[in-house]
A and B are shown apart, each in its own frame.
Chain A
């Protein structure tokens, strides 16, 4: 796997993770998780098809890390 593909996977995962961070839990938490999970899974499958499962794994890790960073940032803003 080339360096470009690794960096690209990190990039796509980071953007999607950041967007997930915008969602706030509310009454329809289960349906949110289901829909977002399905959308995320479809993108991961796309990445598997495009660049292989290792790239998808990297994108998933990057997305999860970015989601955490986004949530921590919003928490810090609220405590500001």
Chain B
């Protein structure tokens, strides 16, 4: 196990950045699920994270694998921490949002456009009292 292959700094930065992008995007995908979490979601995400197609990019026993893992961790948990901070400083959300998606309804003059132009910031319940589509 001591025969790890050395990599250049730029290679390490590239692998770390690639991991960070994947980590950030995995949290994003998990957060924007449109239904209750299903097994398929998790299995797919795990395949994305550590599937052979991803890890095969890096030579075996190289430090690039380590840089990818560090980047993955940084991207994934940075998203989570940013979310924690934003929910913490917002007056419209409480920590319960992480459990069931509850939040205050926007009061005039604020509104949510029907066509959700500009993207859905956080998945909304489909109807009054509807089940949340958002998880942590």
Chain B contact residues: helix, strand, loop or mixed:
helix
Q: Is B46 among interface residues, defined by CB-CB distance under 8 A? A: yes
Asked if A8 contacts B43 (CB within 8 A), the reply is no
**Across the two chains, which residue of chain B brings its CB closest to A2?**
B4
CA distance A19 to B96 in the complex (A): 19
User: How many of B's residues come within 8 Å of A, CB to CB?
Assistant: 42
Interface residues of A in 65-80 (CB under 8 A from B): 74, 77-78, 80
| 29 contacts across the A-B interface (CB closer than 8 A) | A1-B2, A2-B63, A4-B66, A8-B67, A10-B73, A12-B49, A12-B68, A12-B72, A12-B73, A16-B49, A19-B49, A23-B37, A23-B39, A36-B46, A39-B42, A39-B47, A40-B46, A46-B50, A46-B52, A46-B55, A47-B50, A49-B55, A49-B60, A51-B60, A51-B66, A52-B1, A54-B1, A77-B96, A80-B95
